[in-house]
């Protein structure tokens, strides 16, 4: 049985990866803060990374650890670089096996998306720049790697704090009105679909830079409406606004999203539709049809 080291396992995608990979692999999970069933690992600590890799001797490392607070990265570029670039470099430099790393559509400027694997990168935020620096380092220095590029991941779980879907559902359930931007385009992707893709990519030995996103390019506002409709919540509570009204610290790529032709053609992986994903998630979490 292959041994996999999964870093950042207490995050949003980590939760789904644990569900999909734990029975098929010898899965060793790490987290920044020690918790039940995980080893503590700060990927920005070079010695700790080296010691963990020596102790575990994994065949594959899946790195999900990242400083994902986009505005937080803008305020603290040093920390963004330390975790999102140097942390990844620490793994790269000390591990000879297959590294699976997750990149982001924030490596693009969002002027002319959706983007494929050949599109020109041009990050407009500290977060995007730190993610791109890591991608470039992996591509230059690692022979066995898969960089899976993702955009707008969501899930519903009591431990997920950064999920747009969870925020929409919980706000509307409590009758709170919400303001959602109508000028950012993406293809929202359920973390369970993404962890399934990781599983398939391992089986198919997929290497290189590969996009995955669920099928459905839409604005955040349209996604919120879709969530409300599918979860039987009041769409009147959703007000549409422009991104600039939020006065966020970091710029966002506006016309973004990912093209998935490569994963479809080369690996026969078909993106799941956003609608069917939301219906499935509803059934799974709320036991409702
Ligand atoms: N979420 C999205 O929409 C999205 C879109 C595109 C790409 N991605 C990428 O997908 C990957 C997984 O994202 P996610 O949504 O699962 O993010 P997440 O929920 O924020 O999880 C990231 C995890 O990294 C951990 N972490 C932070 N600093 C660390 C450090 N120094 N050492 C070790 N672990 C550290 C965090 O630990 P704590 O829980 O203890 O803070 C957290 O559990 C990331 O690489 C992210 O850049 C995400």
pLDDT tens digits, 223-234: 999 999 999 999
- Ligand 1 pocket, residue 206 CB under 6 Å: no
Specify if 182 maps to a domain: no
In ligand 1, the atom with minimum distance to the C-alpha of 63 is 45
Name the more confident of 154 and 285.
154
| 23 CB neighbour count, 10 Å cutoff | 7
User: What's the confidence (pLDDT) of residue 196?
Assistant: 98
In ligand 1, the atom with minimum distance to the C-alpha of 83 is 31
Residue 288: band (very low, low, confident or very high) from pLDDT cuts 50, 70, 90: low
Residue 204's SS3 state is coil
Query: CB of 97 within 8 A of CB of 42?
Result: no
Model confidence, pTM? 0.97
Residue matched to tokens 């009041």 = 234
User: What is the whole-number distance in angstroms between the Cα of residue 8 and the centre of ligand 1?
Assistant: 6
Tell me how far apart the alpha carbons of residues 153 and 170 are, in angstroms, rounded to a whole number. Answer: 17
The residue-averaged pLDDT of 8-28 equals: 96
Residue 251's SS3 state is coil
Mean pLDDT, all residues of the chain: 96
Cα 181 to chain center, whole Å? 20
Specify if 202 maps to a domain: yes
Ligand 1: residue whose CA is nearest its atom 40: 32
User: What's the confidence (pLDDT) of residue 138?
Assistant: 98
Residues whose CB falls within 8 Å of the CB of residue 216, separated by 6 or more in sequence, listed in order:
187, 188, 273, 274, 275
- Ligand 1 pocket, residue 67 CB under 6 Å: yes
Residues β-bridged to residue 186: 218
The residue-averaged pLDDT of 99-115 equals: 98
Of the candidates 58, 67, 148, which has an alpha carbon nearest to the alpha carbon of residue 94?
Answer: 58
Specify if 26 maps to a domain: yes
Tell me how far apart the alpha carbons of residues 197 and 267 are, in angstroms, rounded to a whole number. Answer: 10
- Ligand 1 pocket, residue 5 CB under 6 Å: no
Domain containing 260: what range?
3-162+188-217+255-273
Ligand 1: residue whose CA is nearest its atom 24: 65
User: What's the confidence (pLDDT) of residue 100?
Assistant: 98
How many domains is the chain built from? 1
Specify if 175 maps to a domain: no
Residue 163: band (very low, low, confident or very high) from pLDDT cuts 50, 70, 90: confident
Specify if 231 maps to a domain: no
Q: Is the pLDDT of residue 285 over 90?
A: no
- Ligand 1 pocket, residue 186 CB under 6 Å: no
Residue 54's H or E segment, with its range, is: helix 46-56
Specify if 65 maps to a domain: yes
Ligand 1: residue whose CA is nearest its atom 38: 32
Tell me how far apart the alpha carbons of residues 122 and 14 are, in angstroms, rounded to a whole number. Answer: 27
- Ligand 1 pocket, residue 253 CB under 6 Å: no
Specify if 167 maps to a domain: no
- Ligand 1 pocket, residue 64 CB under 6 Å: yes
User: What's the confidence (pLDDT) of residue 287?
Assistant: 78
User: What's the confidence (pLDDT) of residue 157?
Assistant: 83
Specify if 244 maps to a domain: no
CATH number at residue 97: 3.40.50.720
User: What's the confidence (pLDDT) of residue 263?
Assistant: 98
| 57 CB neighbour count, 10 Å cutoff | 11
The residue-averaged pLDDT of 138-152 equals: 97
Ligand 1 pocket mutation pick from 38, 65, 256 by most atoms within 8 angstroms of CB = 65
Tell me how far apart the alpha carbons of residues 210 and 194 are, in angstroms, rounded to a whole number. Answer: 12
Burial of 175 (0-12, 13-18, 19+ CB in 10 A): exposed
């Amino acid at each position: 049985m292959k041994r996999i080291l999964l870093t950042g396992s207490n995050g949003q995608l980590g939760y789904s990866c644990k569900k999909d990979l734990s029975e098929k692999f010898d899965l060793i999970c790490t987290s920044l803060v020690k918790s039940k069933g995980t080893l503590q690992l700060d990927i920005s600590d070079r010695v700790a990374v080296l010691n963990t890799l020596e102790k575990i001797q994994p065949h594959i490392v899946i790195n999900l650890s990242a400083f994902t607070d986009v505005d937080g990265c803008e305020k603290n570029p040093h920390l963004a670089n330390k975790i999102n670039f140097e942390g990844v470099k620490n793994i790269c430099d000390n591990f000879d096996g297959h590294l699976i790393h997750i990149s982001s559509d924030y490596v693009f400027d969002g002027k002319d998306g959706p983007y494929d694997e050949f599109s020109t990168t041009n990050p407009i935020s500290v977060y995007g720049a730190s993610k791109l620096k890591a991608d470039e380092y992996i591509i230059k220095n690692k022979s066995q790697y898969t960089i899976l590029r993702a955009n707008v991941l969501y899930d519903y779980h009591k431990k997920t704090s950064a999920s747009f879907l969870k925020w929409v559902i919980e706000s509307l359930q409590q009758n709170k009105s919400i303001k959602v931007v109508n000028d950012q385009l993406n293809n929202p992707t359920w973390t369970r679909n993404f962890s399934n893709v990781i599983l398939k990519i391992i089986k198919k030995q997929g290497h290189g830079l590969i996009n995955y996103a669920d099928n459905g390019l839409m604005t955040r506002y349209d996604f919120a409406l879709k969530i409300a409709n599918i979860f039987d919540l009041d769409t009147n509570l959703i007000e549409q606004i422009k991104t600039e009204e939020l006065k966020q610290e970091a710029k966002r790529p506006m016309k973004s999203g990912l093209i998935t032709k490569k994963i479809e053609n080369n690996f026969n992986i078909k993106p799941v539709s956003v609608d069917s994903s939301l219906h499935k998630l509803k059934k799974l979490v709320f036991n409702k049809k």
